Amino acid sequence: MKPTLLVLAAGMGSRYGGLKQMDGLGPNGETIIDYSIYDAVNAGFGKVVYIVREYFLEDFRKMVAERYRNVTCPDGQPIEFDFVIQELNKIPAGFTLNPEREKPWGTAHAVLMAKDVIKEPFAVINGDDYYGRDSFRILADWLTAHSETEGEYCLVGFKLENTLSESGGVSRGICTADAASYLTHVEEHHNVEKAGDGKVYADNSKGERVEVDGEALCSMNMWGFTPDYFEKSSVIFSQFLKENINELKKEFYIPYAIDCMIKEDTAKVELLSTPSRWFGVTFKQDRPGVVAKFQEFADKGVYPSPLYNKD
């Protein structure tokens, strides 16, 4: 059974100023998602599910049909594609949406939207992050090895210094694990950036400016789950809504759901490490550097150019 790739593509990048997920950054107009799909398919994933908003669903469908119409798995089997919609009103029965709320419910809510179309082990990634081929291989191997397990998930951690932007401070969840490499805590840090002295500094959860270890593993929202995650997360989401249904800005994030599971001892998460260097378009100023990086990949033959044959 091949694992499925779940792509979080419903968000608009407020700091970036546009729909990042559909921005052509490669030499032939390839998007970051295009590279993720390419790496995932070659790593052994057999299905892709997109989480989108209803207002750009049709544009996304057309893009997928055009770009991937000739793409097959290494074994020659066709790639499956599916789409699910994240909207504010998609909440459990018994809850009434506050009509003043405009903000989405968050990444863990987005994942729950796919519970009816995913029945196999699956990965979750952001649609606007480049993770690297090694990361997808590591994740696919883990999911394949754990296809029959329940209550055991994974997180692909990136070295913090491999995830920074030259355009400004970023937010990163720095991971802590036990001796067996199981996740114990993810602490959110803000304004993470490398200073002139070469050291990395950040504002910790208490608002203090502190030096942090550039070698520390951080979460870039690259998770591996088995299907039982949906049921566990659904229970936690209902608990979350009991406390926050009338809040206008509170969001149900994946790290929050995972933290609840770890504390309740209903799941454990193995922290994996990747040598890949992350990059993305957190800020609009990041775009030229990302374009240059994809051109470099093409020039060095890291990826074919064009990435997909449209003939």
User: How far is it, in rounded angstroms, from Cα 274 to Cα 78?
Assistant: 28
pLDDT digits (tens, 9 = 90+) for 180-198: 999 998 888 999 999 989 8
pLDDT at 116: 95
64-68 long-range contacts (CB < 8 A, ≥24 apart) are 66/310, 67/34, 67/308, 67/310, 68/37, 68/308
User: How far is it, in rounded angstroms, from Cα 227 to Cα 119?
Assistant: 6
DSSP state of 181: S
Report which residue type is found at 227: P
User: How far is it, in rounded angstroms, from Cα 125 to Cα 121?
Assistant: 14
Q: Which CATH class is domain 4-299?
A: alpha beta
pLDDT at 310: 62
Q: Is the alpha carbon torsion for 237, 243, 246, 248 positive or negative? A: negative
| C-alpha distances out from residue 295 to 31, 267, 291, 303, Å | 13, 41, 6, 10
Cross-strand bridge partners of residue 188: 173
pLDDT, one tens digit for every residue, the chain (311 residues): 899 999 998 864 433 344 545 678 999 989 899 999 999 999 999 999 999 888 888 888 888 888 888 888 889 898 999 999 998 888 899 899 989 998 889 999 999 999 999 999 999 999 889 999 999 999 999 999 998 899 999 999 999 999 998 888 999 999 999 999 999 988 889 999 999 898 999 998 888 999 999 999 999 999 999 999 999 999 999 999 999 999 998 999 999 999 999 999 999 999 999 999 999 888 888 899 999 999 999 999 999 999 987 65
Q: Which two tokens stand for residue 142?
A: 């883990």
Considering only CA atoms, which of 93, 120, 122, 124 is closest in space to residue 106?
Answer: 124
Provide the mean pLDDT of the chain.
90
pTM above 0.85, yes or no: yes
User: How far is it, in rounded angstroms, from Cα 30 to Cα 23?
Assistant: 8
Domain boundaries, the chain: 4-299
Q: How far is CA 152 from the centre of its chain?
A: 18
Contact 201, 212 (CB under 8 A): yes
Report which residue type is found at 220: M
